[in-house]
Amino acid sequence: MKIHDLIVIGGGPAGLAAAVSARRAGVQDILILERDHVLGGILNQCIHNGFGLHTFKEELTGPEYAARFIAQVKEENIPYRLGATVISISKEKLVTYVSREEGLVQVQAKALILAMGCRERPRGALNIPGSRPAGIFSAGTAQRLMNIEGYQVGKEVVILGSGDIGLIMARRMTLEGAKVKVVAELMPYSGGLKRNIVQCLDDFGIPLKLSHTVVEIHGKERLTGVTLARVDENRRPIAGTEEYYACDTLLLSVGLLPENELTRALDVTMSRVTNGPEVDDRLQTDCEGVFACGNVLHVHDLVDYVSEEAALAGKNAAAYVLSQPAAGRTVDITADNGVRYTVPQKLDPEHMADAVTVRFRVADVYRDRYICVYCNGERIRRIKKRVLAPGEMEQVILKKSELKEPLQSIRICTEVE
């Protein structure tokens, strides 16, 4: 059996950036395993612009952003396998994958980087009553059918959920001649980025109905329409508010789920909020030598942050392979009062880097609040925020020099005054 210093599972934005970073930190023997027939992951179908403003200081489309990282992987001569689907990983870092060329293969890694990304929440998870006609797609599936395979997908469209992919597809389908009638969002606020609401909906006069959901699906062979209804504060449909929309296509943009089926076999602590593994400040899971980054860890809204996080995972995996760095006691980072979770969830105060970026999301739309950091019960940071929204990831950078010794606890929360 072949032994590799580092195996990266997934050749999307996270896996590519992690592999490049590990190579530049000195790891010679790296293997990237990718199940698709091209590198780049979801970026290949994200043909819209808006990628790379942080990383490259210019606005790129998804395929262009991916191509920059693919070029780096090739420059660094990092080996990768395409059409290679990993079917299991073990605590001992034994990786089993299948591919058409090689059949069933087992490879042993000294370190592993999990970069499997996420997938869309499907219709089955929504409990929408009605029959099961053709014409109901997750927004990302429609995006793939349209942008990669060149299908028209539909002519009259209703979109449920105001996630970014749904908003992007509202514009995309409109430009391709479809009539997007309405975007319905269950929550009282949008789940997408503000600029997507403006540039994808407002530009084309597409209405966004907040606090609305689909209560009935009509049609037998092909979708013929949906019924929308307003929901109350408990997200229950309000009788008498039903409205019928004739349409042949319903797109679902109702959330993304980190794809952690492989991770479960490692028996590591999983976060119930992110649905990803819990990690320390090196982005290492409970299983020593197994690191995680990108959307498998927690769902991001900007690929630039995925690349940045993945580069850190790559660097730390390299340190693990090359020098087995010392590890010490960890302290939990607690999230509360409006902060839903943090990544990382814990840090090692003795061995941490001089600055550690902690990313998180808030639970609701808040105006004029403070993001506060408490260390051993004492407030060490208070950052004024005019607005905070669940759809926009936030971050604070913890500096080693400002943390009290001995460190007992870190708490990140929002405060009104």
CA distance 32 to 98: 14
Q: Going residue by residue from 38 to 57, which x/- string records binding to other proteins, judged by CB under 8 A?
A: ------x--xxx--------
Shortest Cβ distance from residue 9 to other proteins (Å)?
24
What residues numbered 390-409 form the site for other proteins, per CB under 8 A? 392
The CB-of-140 to other proteins minimum distance in angstroms stands at 16
Cβ atoms of 257 and 271 within 8 Å: the answer is no
Position among 389, 398, 410, 413 found at the interface with other proteins (CB under 8 A): 389
Question: Which residues in the 158-217 window bind other proteins by CB under 8 A?
Answer: 175-176, 193-195, 197-199, 202-203
| Beta-carbon contacts of residue 57 (< 8 Å; ≥ 6 apart) | none
Residue 104 touches other proteins, criterion: CB under 8 A = no
Evaluate whether 119 touches 143 at the Cβ level (below 8 Å): no
Among positions 3, 87, 125, 148, the unique one binding other proteins when judged by CB under 8 A: 148
x/- track of binding to other proteins for residues 241-260 (CB under 8 A)? --------------------
Q: What whole-number distance in Å separates Cα of residue 36 and Cα of residue 85?
A: 8
- Beta carbon of residue 165, minimum distance to other proteins (angstroms, whole number): 14
In the complex, what is the shortest distance from the CB of residue 171 to other proteins, in angstroms, rounded to a whole number? 9
Distance CA 343, CA 358 (A): 6
| Footprint on this chain of other proteins (rule: CB under 8 A) | 44, 47-49, 59-61, 63-64, 67, 146-150, 175-176, 193-195, 197-199, 202-203, 386-387, 389, 392
